[in-house]
Structures are given as C-alpha cells and as structure tokens.
C-alpha cells in the first residue's frame, strides 16, 4: 500500500474535503481526483482552493491507501467500512457505481461525476482540462430495467453534448459495457 497523499475530512453530507492546498494539489495531479472548491475548470496545479471529493472517489482512494479520512473536531480516523456505510446511506446504487468507477479507473480512464450530463460519470481518456470527456456513463444493476424512453433520452443528451453514451451493467462479478453512438443517415 502506498503512503497517503492527503488527510481528508468527511463532511455530514458524505462529501470529503482536503483542506491542505498542497495535499489537494498533489492528489488532483496524481490522477485528477476531486474538484477544487469554486473552480469550474481547474488546470493542474493552478488553483488555490480546498479539494472536494465525492463519496465514490473517497472510498476508492481510501481503499488504495492514498488518503487518510478523519471526522469531527477530534479528527478521529474513519475506516474503509465506515466510509462505505456513509456512502451507501447518501448515494443510491453506491455498490454498483463503485464497481464501475473502480473498473474504469483500473483500465486507465479518468472518471468524474457526470451529474451535469444527467448520468453517473463523465469519462476522460486523459483528464479534465487536457481533453473533453468522450463518454458519459449510466450505471445499472443486472436486474434493473431500461425503458425505451430512457434510451431515447440518453441518446438525445449524448448527441447534444457530443459524447458516446455508455450503459454499464453490473452483474455477478463483472461489469459489461454497451456503447450507444447515434448518427444521422
């Protein structure tokens, strides 16, 4: 296990914050983890703001030993199991989303929250500020249904923002990906 890059405080809403600017920059440049508070389009080390991590990133980084998570005024250490409980309480479908996030990260992609695209993740080949995210990803469990209107909605959105829509289906021990690319004949 690698040495922790940053000490992170868990907030009541399950987000995590790196107060140290130096540690935040180091974590961000280690793999484009998190987002500097109040900075819409950060450039690698050109920001002077605390770094905010979402629960999925926090669990991933804690599992990898790249962060230490603390809570409260007493700065009590938060274990991986405790952080997973917090994430499950605040994020619907956490386990499936975490599996997809981890799988994409292990494949070398940079994965960011996709809320502004109406999906679970925006996926970059190189990183924000370096390239545009070519993919948006929606996560579904193996037993979840997908309606025709959801497919049409996803297609319209992906076409509007010029991205490939990827459906990530988590079932058993694997994640399967189905890409939708729309074209005009």
Residue 103's closest CA among 179, 170, 181?
170
Query: Residue 81 — left, alpha, or beta (φ > 0 → left; ψ -120 to 50 → alpha)?
Result: alpha
User: CA separation (Å) from 101 to 19, 47, 111, 113?
Assistant: 24, 25, 7, 10
Active site residue 163: yes
Burial of residue 6, with CB atoms counted within 10 A of its CB: 0-12 exposed, 13-18 middle, 19 or more buried = buried
The token pair at 148 is 């025709």
User: Distance between CA 159 and CA 156 in Å, rounded?
Assistant: 5
**12 included as an active-site residue:** no
Determine which one of 124, 135, 138, 140 is catalytic. Answer: 124
Annotated catalytic residue, options 22, 116, 126, 132: 132
Is 132 one of the catalytic residues? yes
Show which residues are catalytic. 124, 132, 163
């Amino acid at each position: 296990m690698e040495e922790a890059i940053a000490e992170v405080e868990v907030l009541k809403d399950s987000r995590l914050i790196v107060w140290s600017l130096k540690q935040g920059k180091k974590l961000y440049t280690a793999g484009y983890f998190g987002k500097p508070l109040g900075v819409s389009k950060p450039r690698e080390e050109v920001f002077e703001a605390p770094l905010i991590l979402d629960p999925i990133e926090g669990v991933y980084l804690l599992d990898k030993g790249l962060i230490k998570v603390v809570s409260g005024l007493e700065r009590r250490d938060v274990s991986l199991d405790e952080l997973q409980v917090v994430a499950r309480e605040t994020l619907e479908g956490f386990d499936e989303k975490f599996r997809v996030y981890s799988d994409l990260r292990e494949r070398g992609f940079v994965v960011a929250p996709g809320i502004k695209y109406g999906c679970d993740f925006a996926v970059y080949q190189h990183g924000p500020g370096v390239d545009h995210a070519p993919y948006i990803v929606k996560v579904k469990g193996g037993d979840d249904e997908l309606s025709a209107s959801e497919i049409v909605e996803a297609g319209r959105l992906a076409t509007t923002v010029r991205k490939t829509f990827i459906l990530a289906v988590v079932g058993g021990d694997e994640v399967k990906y189905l890409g939708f690319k729309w074209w005009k004949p």
